[in-house]
Chain A
Amino acid sequence: MEIFTEYRGQIFEAFWTTIQLTVYSAVGALILGTVLAAMRMSPVPTLNWLGTTYVNVVRNTPLTLIILFCSFGLSQTLGITLVDAKSTTSIEDSNFRLAVLGLTVYTASFVCETIRSGVNTVPLGQAEAARSLGLTFGQNLRMILLPQAFRAVVIPLGSVLIALTKNTTIASAIGVAEAALLMKGMIENTAALISVGTIFASGFIILTLPVGLLFGWLGKRLAVAR
């Protein structure tokens, strides 16, 4: 408990970074994932192929490798840093943004697959009725399929969000000052292994449990009555 009091400021700061990583990546992954899902369902074979390839490549690559590639490959080798090099916090900002990029790219493939499974829950007649009314593929997707699909996949999307929250710990591989990095530092400095472990495990339970409950409740509320 004394350890918690001593490190309180740092712990809250680290978990705040974890939350920021989660929120930014979640928004990015939701947008990219929806676009990918639309591509994989579209009538154009090239888009189809592109979406499928993306999902198969990214889903089968370890997240650690993707995030390290963002740092070693994009930033250090190719000089793509996503920040203004003159800013005083450019290194921290760069690592944070590269981590968000890596997490977004990785999570988008799971969001895409989740949304596609949601579209599969929409009855055949809905899409057929939409077509018989003369709606184009884009209109069909926008007005008929996706609204129902999203309501069907609220709970699985919640699971993706929880997995993303836990995956942000991997950003510590490129030195983003989030929970796992602080945990390592605290264990090395305090040697109070059990207390530190308890603090960080509880932190993640506090972050993920309400999200699970909220999405479970939302999922039941928003489910399409059929």
Chain B
Amino acid sequence: MSGASVLFDAPGPRARVRNRLITVITIALALAAAWVIYSRLESKGQLTAAKWEPFVTGNLWKTYILPGVQGTLTAAAVSIVLALVLGFVLGVGRLSHHNGVRWTCSVIVEFFRAVPVLIMMIFAYFLFANYDVFPSKHLALAGVITGLTLYNGAVIAEIVRAGVNALPRGQAEAAEALGLRWGQTMRSILLPQAVTSMLPVLVSQMVVVLKDTAIGYQITFLEMVRQGTQVGSAYGNYVPALIVIALLMITVNFTLSYFATWLEGRMRRSSKGPEPMHIAPVTQGVFGAGAGGTI
């Protein structure tokens, strides 16, 4: 069932009056809330030009925000590439006919999906610090990338598995009938189709990676949210600084989410290629429920 219109009748005269009344009340409440927030901000002096002015100076952007943006983008880009590699290895491993391989990959995937990203980041950070794996300048970056790669690799493994399983059985059967081995079937028949159908879900997974770079805040990684709080403490304007950072994040992530939805719709309408996987707010694991997907 889709489209809200089936849920209620076309409004008659009374319903129109009622809807208008609800609209007016909602707007009044929203205005009241906005006024409370406004006066609160005003009385604490958060709306004065001095609090906002730094954001139009190039200096603030150069010293604080742009390095943060760079950190966020670097961590996200490296993590998504590594997570794709790990995800494909684990996902194909879970589909393997060898019990040993399948079980090992399953345990790895379930483990990294059950452990919070922050716990993995803290662990990786101190591990690298103890054994001097990376120069101290890059410790936090390495910790963030490790945490994000392991978690998103596990999530992508599940997406790959679901993508391959969703293909029509006839594809694998036909390949077998032609005498292709399992590896050949996977490589030249199943994965290419699965990847296409996974595209929208993979794009929306990038939103998760971008958002989760902010968890690096806690292992002193230089990313956007940390830089926002730095601006806040330097200029005494936490509220404006965090709002500006939030706006930047929301713009990028909203565009990506919108693109993913558009891609799914376009692929669904098109007669070519496989059906796209649906972008669910959360994906399911083998144990029934499991965290993953875009949260």
Query: Footprint of B on A, CB under 8 Å?
Result: 41-48, 50, 56-57, 59-65, 68-69, 72-73, 76-80, 110, 113-114, 117, 119-124, 127-128, 131, 136-137, 140-141, 145, 155-156, 158-163, 165-167, 169-170, 172-173, 179-180, 183-184, 187, 191, 193, 197, 200-201, 204-205, 208-209, 211-213, 215-217, 219-220
Contact = CB atoms under 8 A, between A and B. Distances in A.
A26 B292 CA distance: 17
B238 A77 contact: yes
16 contacts: A41-B7, A62-B212, A62-B213, A64-B218, A65-B225, A122-B1, A155-B288, A156-B289, A159-B282, A163-B282, A191-B130, A193-B126, A204-B115, A204-B119, A212-B287, A216-B288
B193 to A, nearest CB: 25
B215 A64 contact: yes
Interface in B1-57: 1-2, 4, 6-9, 11, 15, 19, 22-23, 26-27, 30, 40-41, 44, 46
Given A44-B22, A110-B281, A204-B114, A172 B6 contact: no
A159 B292 contact: yes
A212 B238 contact: no
Given A62-B212, A155-B289, 6 more contacts: A50-B30, A62-B213, A69-B246, A172-B118, A205-B114, A216-B288
B288 A215 contact: yes
Given A162-B289, A163-B295, A193 B229 contact: no
A78 B284 contact: no
Given A44-B22, A78-B44, A193-B123, A208 B1 contact: no
B286 to A, nearest CB: 9
Interface of B: 1-2, 4, 6-9, 11, 15, 19, 22-23, 26-27, 30, 40-41, 44, 46, 111, 114-119, 122-123, 126-127, 130, 207, 211-215, 217-218, 225, 228-229, 232, 238-239, 242, 245-246, 249-250, 253-254, 257, 280-285, 287-295
B19 A43 contact: yes
A209 B232 CA distance: 40
Given A120-B2, A173-B218, A183 B228 contact: no
Contacts of B249: 60-62, 65
A124 B2 CA distance: 8
B290 A77 contact: no
A156 B238 contact: no
B34 to A, nearest CB: 12
A80 B229 CA distance: 19
